[in-house]
Amino acid sequence: MTPRASNDLSAFGRHAPRGWLAGLVRTARLCGTDWAGKRLAFALRAVGVRALGGQPLDVETLGARMRLYPGHNVAEKNLLFTPQYFDPQERRFLAARLGADFVFIDIGANVGGYALFVATLAGPGARVLAIEPQGDIFERLSFNIRQNSFPSIKALELAVADCDGDVTLFIDAKNKGETSMRLVGTHGLGASVRVPAKALASIVAEEGFARIDAIKLDVEGAEDLILEAFFRDVAARLWPRLLIVEDAPGRWAIDLPALIARQGYAVALKTRTNVIYERPWTSGD
């Protein structure tokens, strides 16, 4: 397992924002999506990150309680200060398709932004699997899950790859969310660590999924490794209706969009960072 940093696992609320910092968080979250609003929000966010000096804050964001460390993780910085800019189009698209028994796999779950968002809206009958390989980030993910009464969510500490075994993770010291199984030329490359890994086919079999509604993959350029093996090894009846894939064509070894299209998926939404593919259910599924 990857080494854990000194995460604070004390009772939730100990790090509640107070005084001027509480006002800064509140103001940043109220900023609009126009140019001026974003400029102000990002300026406030930068002030808040510096003021915290690596310490976390306990907040509610996207409907869930989370302890967030914004210093070296862009996802946590966004979830804490500017959740309105956290993949809003993707979240609206997903929310419109959630059902009471929704089945969602979050690969590269980070501290739980997507997984907890789905668990919040889908309710107790849903099934959410959050997968994260970095030990310290997984500890934060698990802590955040425990702060919410969501029986639908489960976390796994491992990497998802094209086969079972161990893989090397290349850690981005400046943004933990950029950590990858591939050397992707990130600006803050730090240590590398070995972690256990499983193929997505193995995880689906071990978890006993009979249906998957959506899979999100945010693994910094290894999406092609995972999906090529998944489509080869898993019956079409278990292919998800929705695929949310980080758009990183320069990092892939194959034409991943073409592979996805050959499996019957079409682009349903394309944003600055992600592509959502949708595949209709067929009688053969």
Is 37 a member of any domain?
yes
Judge if 32 and 150 occupy the same domain.
no
Judge if 68 and 94 occupy the same domain.
no
Distance CA 68, CA 61 (A): 10
Q: What is the mean pLDDT of residues 127-138?
A: 95
What does pTM read for this prediction?
A: 0.90
Is 57 a member of any domain?
yes
Judge if 72 and 102 occupy the same domain.
no
Residue with tokens 């998926």: 265
Task: Write the CB contacts of 15 (distance below 8 Å, at least 6 apart in sequence).
Answer: 8, 55, 56, 57, 58, 67
Judge if 71 and 114 occupy the same domain.
no
DSSP H helical ranges for 130-218? 135-146, 200-207
Judge if 94 and 230 occupy the same domain.
yes
Distance CA 21, CA 51 (A): 8
pLDDT in tens, 145-198: 999 999 999 999 999 999 999 988 777 666 555 555 555 554 455 677 888 999
Distance CA 226, CA 204 (A): 13
Q: Which of 11-15, 81-85, 187-191, 234-238 has the lowest mean pLDDT?
A: 187-191
Judge if 251 and 113 occupy the same domain.
yes
Judge if 95 and 76 occupy the same domain.
no
pLDDT for 6 equals 78
Is 285 a member of any domain?
no
Query: Please, which pLDDT band fits residue 70 given cuts at 50, 70 and 90?
Result: very high
Distance from chain centroid for Cα 188: 20
Q: Which residues pair with 58 in a beta bridge?
A: 67
Given a contact cutoff of 8 angstroms between Cβ atoms, the answer to whether 42 and 85 are in contact is: no
Under DSSP, is residue 235 helix (H, G, I), strand (E, B) or coil?
coil
Number of domains in the chain: 2
Instruction: State the Cα angle at 169 between 165 and 171, rounded to 5°.
Output: 165
Judge if 63 and 202 occupy the same domain.
no
Query: Please, which pLDDT band fits residue 2 given cuts at 50, 70 and 90?
Result: very low
Which residue, of 68, 83, 98, is where some domain finishes?
83
Find the domain containing 63 and state its range. 19-83
Residue 241 dihedral angles phi and psi, to the nearest 5°: -70, -35
Distance CA 256, CA 244 (A): 13
pLDDT for 182 equals 53
Judge if 120 and 232 occupy the same domain.
yes
Is 284 a member of any domain?
no
Strands 274-278, 242-246: pairing is: antiparallel
Distance CA 86, CA 104 (A): 18
Query: Please, which pLDDT band fits residue 221 given cuts at 50, 70 and 90?
Result: confident
Amino acid occupying residue 216: K
Is 11 a member of any domain?
no
Task: Please report, for the domain that includes residue 167, its CATH number.
Answer: 3.40.50.150
Residue of 132, 175, 124, 176 whose CA lies nearest to 153: 124
Residue of 6, 10, 22, 104 whose CA lies nearest to 60: 22
Judge if 29 and 125 occupy the same domain.
no
pLDDT for 240 equals 97
Can you say whether residue 19 is alpha, beta or left, with left for phi > 0 and alpha for psi between -120 and 50 degrees? Answer: left
Which residue, of 62, 83, 104, is where some domain finishes?
83
Judge if 171 and 93 occupy the same domain.
yes
How many Cβ atoms sit within 10 Å of the Cβ of residue 273?
12
Please say if the pLDDT value at position 283 is more than 50.
no
Query: Please, which pLDDT band fits residue 77 given cuts at 50, 70 and 90?
Result: very high
Is 156 a member of any domain?
yes
Residue 21 CA: distances (Å) to CA of 16, 49, 66, 68, 204: 10, 10, 17, 14, 43
Question: Please, what is the average pLDDT of the chain?
Answer: 90
Q: Starting at the earlier edge strand, list the strands of the sheet with 127-131.
A: 153-156, 127-131, 103-107, 214-217, 242-246, 274-278, 266-270
Judge if 174 and 65 occupy the same domain.
no
Please say if the pLDDT value at position 125 is more than 60.
yes
Is 107 a member of any domain?
yes
Is 12 a member of any domain?
no
